[in-house]
């Protein structure tokens, strides 16, 4: 019997027992759908969370001033630690594992244009601040090193701040007054959905060079003169994350005379560790949901095995006749082995098609910010296929061997007696 005849006979047998075939195939199909969709949902949540977190910043550590809990160099515990305006320079110089150490200063300032006004947060930092804090340019440009060194009074507007001050008019090149000081607008931020912040949404802010901020809007009481609230630390790579944090702590400890191991001396917001924690949670979810799908698929394989054992019993006379006519044990094994594989892979193909089709339909719908949709990956597809192949082979072996073990004389006598 060639493969074409074998395939035709198998399909005829399946069609003759439609309900049993459907129930048999359903287990495999549902197992494939379960693995694909659940892993795709986890991947969509992983990607959505990562994108949403990146709206705040990419791989940054934020140092806030704290209060010492240990004595160091004769200084008492319980001292307040506050960053100075120029601490970032020695901190960066003494931290080779860090790409940036960026100061950030913010003040609420009355801001007005020719047509409108508002009390907005004005933020000053260095030019790399835009890329570090995921502030994308919608129009114009962000301030650069030349603006910083020349202490230029230029302003970059958050998208909502621009709407408030200029409405639908172009703001590039326009003048706005912060207090009584005129600034030239050089750029407008692209709108973004920001999921977290420590001093307000970026779209509501006005950004100016750090040198201008220190000169025009220095720290106000009760803050100490020439101080800032926080610094942004960026490692050169994720592998240098721990080294960067340790070096920056040590540098600031030398400047402010506190023990670098004093966890209370520095308030910390580590977006890298937060991202790693989220990744561990997503991995756990993916493993758990994948395991549920694998169990479902395995149960489907047991169903296929059971149905094929029933088929062997129903076709005992057929097997006996074939053996009496000279069919070899290998031919019988091949027949039932291939029939089982056809059922399993046909079921798997239907399941994969339905799963990917369902994912594509769901992805056409609007998604919340923290969910990127159902994103099946090539890894999940490959895993599903390999599992299906393994379960199909295991499901086929036992029924095929049982069929090959049928004695032709006993088979003819059993059928005649039945």
Q: What is the pLDDT of residue 49?
A: 79
Distance of CA 21 to the CA centre of its chain: 40
- Highest mean pLDDT: which range of 92-101, 276-285, 308-317, 372-381: 92-101
Q: What is the pLDDT of residue 46?
A: 83
Give me the phi and psi of 321, to 5 degrees please.
Answer: -60, -45
**Greater model confidence, 324 or 216:** 216
Query: Residues 76-92: pLDDT tens digits?
Result: 778 888 999 999 999 99
Count of positions (residues) in the chain = 418
d(CA 61, CA 268): 7
416, pLDDT greater than 50: no
Average pLDDT over residues 203-223: 90
Q: What is the pLDDT of residue 21?
A: 72
Average pLDDT over residues 148-176: 94
d(CA 167, CA 116): 9
Q: What is the pLDDT of residue 105?
A: 93
**Greater model confidence, 261 or 321:** 261
CB atoms within 10 A of CB 411: 20
153, pLDDT greater than 90: yes
Average pLDDT over residues 281-291: 76
- Highest mean pLDDT: which range of 191-195, 307-311, 393-397: 191-195
Q: What is the pLDDT of residue 414?
A: 54
Residue 314's pLDDT band, with cuts at 50, 70 and 90, is low
188, pLDDT greater than 90: yes
Annotate the chain with three-state secondary structure: CCHHHHHHHHHHHHHHCHHHHHHHHHHHHHHHHHHHHHHHHHHHHHHHHHHHHHCCCCCCEEEEECECCCCECCECCCCECCEECCCHHHHHHCCCCEEEEEEEEEEEEEEECCCCEEEEEEEEECCCHHHHCCCCEEEECCCCHHHHHCCCCEEEECHHHHHHHHCCCCCCCCEEEECCEEEEEEEEECCCCCCCCCCCCHHHEEEEEHHHHHHHCCCCCCCCCCEECEEEEEECCHHHHHHHHHHHHHHHHHHHCCCCCCCCCEEEEEHHHHHHHHHHHHHHHHHHHHHHHHHHHHHHHHHHHHHHHHHHHHCHHHHHHHHHCCCCHHHHHHHHHHHHHHHHHHHHHHHHHHHHHHHHHHCCCCCCCCCCCCCCCHHHHHHHHHHHHHHHHHHHHHHHHHHHCCCHHHHHHHHHHC
d(CA 162, CA 159): 5
Residue 418's pLDDT band, with cuts at 50, 70 and 90, is very low
Least confident interval from 34-38, 123-127, 155-159: 34-38
187, pLDDT greater than 60: yes
Q: What is the pLDDT of residue 171?
A: 94
For 209, counting Cβ atoms within 10 Å of its Cβ (0-12 exposed, 13-18 middle, 19+ buried), the class is buried
CB atoms within 10 A of CB 256: 20
Give which of 144, 132, 138 is closest to 157, Cα–Cα: 138
Distance of CA 230 to the CA centre of its chain: 28
- Six-digit token string for 14: 């399946």
The ranges assigned to domains in the chain are 3-53+276-417, 67-264
Q: What is the pLDDT of residue 170?
A: 92
Q: What is the pLDDT of residue 417?
A: 46
Q: What is the pLDDT of residue 166?
A: 93
Give me the phi and psi of 156, to 5 degrees please.
Answer: -115, 125
Alpha-carbon distance values, 393 to 25, 42, 76, 264 (Å): 15, 29, 72, 60
Q: What is the pLDDT of residue 142?
A: 97
- Please state the pTM of the whole predicted model: 0.70
Average pLDDT over residues 234-263: 91
- Six-digit token string for 140: 């114009």
Q: What is the pLDDT of residue 221?
A: 74
124, pLDDT greater than 90: yes
Average pLDDT over residues 143-147: 96
């Amino acid at each position: 019997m060639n493969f074409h005849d074998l395939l035709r006979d198998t399909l005829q047998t399946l069609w003759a027992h439609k309900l049993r075939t459907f129930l048999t195939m359903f287990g495999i199909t549902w197992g494939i759908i379960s693995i694909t969709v659940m892993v795709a949902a986890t991947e969509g949540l992983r990607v959505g969370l990562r994108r949403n977190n990146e709206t705040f910043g990419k791989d940054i550590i934020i140092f806030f001033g704290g209060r010492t809990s240990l004595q160091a160099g004769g200084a008492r515990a319980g001292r307040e630690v506050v960053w100075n305006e120029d601490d970032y320079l020695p901190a960066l110089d003494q931290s080779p594992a860090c790409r940036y150490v960026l100061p950030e200063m913010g003040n609420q300032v009355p801001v007005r244009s020719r047509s409108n006004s508002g009390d907005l947060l004005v933020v000053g930092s260095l030019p790399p601040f835009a890329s570090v804090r995921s502030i994308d340019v919608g129009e114009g440009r962000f301030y650069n090193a030349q603006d910083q060194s020349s202490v230029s009074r230029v302003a970059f507007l958050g998208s909502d701040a621009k709407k408030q001050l200029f409405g639908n008019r172009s703001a590039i090149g326009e003048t706005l007054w912060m207090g009584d000081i005129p600034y030239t607008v050089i750029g407008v931020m692209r709108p973004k959905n920001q999921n977290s912040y420590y001093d307000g949404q970026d779209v509501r802010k006005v950004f100016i060079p750090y040198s201008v901020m220190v000169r025009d809007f220095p720290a106000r009481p009760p803050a100490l003169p020439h101080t800032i609230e926080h610094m942004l630390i960026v490692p050169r790579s994720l592998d240098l994350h721990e080294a960067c944090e340790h070096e920056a702590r040590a540098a600031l400890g030398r400047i402010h005379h506190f023990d670098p191991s004093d966890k209370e001396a520095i308030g910390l917001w580590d977006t890298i560790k937060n991202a790693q924690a989220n990744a561990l949670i997503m991995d756990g979810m993916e493993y758990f949901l994948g395991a549920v799908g694998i169990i479902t698929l395995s149960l489907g394989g047991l169903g296929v095995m059971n149905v094929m054992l029933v088929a062997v019993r129903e076709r005992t006379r057929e097997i006996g006749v074939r053996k009496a006519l000279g069919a070899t044990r290998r031919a019988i094994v091949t027949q039932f082995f291939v029939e089982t594989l056809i059922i399993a892979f046909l079921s798997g193909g239907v399941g994969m098609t339905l799963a990917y089709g369902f994912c594509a339909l769901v992805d056409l719908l609007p998604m919340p910010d923290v969910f990127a949709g159902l994103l099946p990956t090539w890894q999940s597809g490959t895993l599903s296929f390999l599992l299906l192949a393994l379960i199909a082979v295991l499901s086929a072996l036992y029924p095929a061997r049982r069929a090959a073990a049928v004695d032709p004389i006993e088979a003819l006598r059993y059928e005649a007696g039945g």
